[in-house]
Amino acid sequence: MDIQSWILYTLAAIGLSLTPGPNGLLALTHGALYGARRTIATILGGSLGFTFVIALSMFGIGALLAASVGLLVVLKWLGGAYLVWLGIQVWRSPSIAVSREKVGSGSPGLLFRAGLLSAVSNPKGILFFVAFLPQFVDPARSLVVQFAIMATTFVVIEFLYELMVAALADRVQPWLAKVGKNFNRVFGGVFVAIGVLLPLRG
């Protein structure tokens, strides 16, 4: 993965991490209920889950590319169309609602499990990465190395974002209640832009 592709991937990953999702919402909820320090267990569980989902998506893509490199172009355009559709859904979705329901006693094990299950149990997560990752895959380079770079980059960004959300939970929740609809429209627009622009890259 060349440096220009990595920079573009990193910028896209930052935009995608900021988009409302189950694990970010879980980090926000747990941050409000248990505090940022205990929520690190939730975030670590989600990080492991994201690594698994990225691996499943990436090596599934690799298996398809082994059959035909030309499939990458098809995957890019189908993935772009899915990201546009997803952006429209995010744009039209209602304001984010934060649950105040406690998850057990807030023990590290339970919080870790909640984060892990949130990342791996959502089928939209796999669909999303299957749509997103082909935009950056170079079939001429090692898939394992590309997986290591992409997974590490995304997980580090997501970890830092969720930790920030958990630490600022009490401030973020009232803000989301006021501007939640506009927040969804901004990041729905991010998805649409990514879906349109990335497949057009050379």
Note the pLDDT tens digit of each residue in 32-44: 788 889 899 999 9
Bigger pLDDT: 143 vs 16 = 143
More confident residue, 62 or 43: 43
pLDDT tens-digit readout, 174-190: 766 666 567 667 767 77
Average pLDDT over residues 49-53: 91
For the chain, domain boundaries: 3-200
Residue 84 pLDDT: 81
Q: CA-CA distance, 162 to 153, in Å (whole number)?
A: 14
* Phi and psi angles of residue 94, each rounded to the nearest 5 degrees, phi first: -70, 170
> How confident is the model at residue 81, as a pLDDT?
81
Q: Residue 20 has which token pair? A: 């409302």
Percentage above 90 pLDDT, the chain: 17
Dump pLDDT digits (tens) for 108-122. 888 998 889 888 877
Q: Supply the pLDDT for residue 66.
A: 67
DSSP output for the chain: --HHHHHHHHHHHHHHHHS--HHHHHHHHHHHHH-HHHHHHHHHHHHHHHHHHHHHHHHHHHHHHHH-TTHHHHHHHHHHHHHHHHHHHHHHSPPP-------TT--HHHHHHHHHHHHHS-HHHHHHHHHHGGGT--TTS-HHHHHHHHHHHHHHHHHHHHHHHHHTHHHHHHHHHHHHHHHHHHHHHHHHHHHHHGGG--
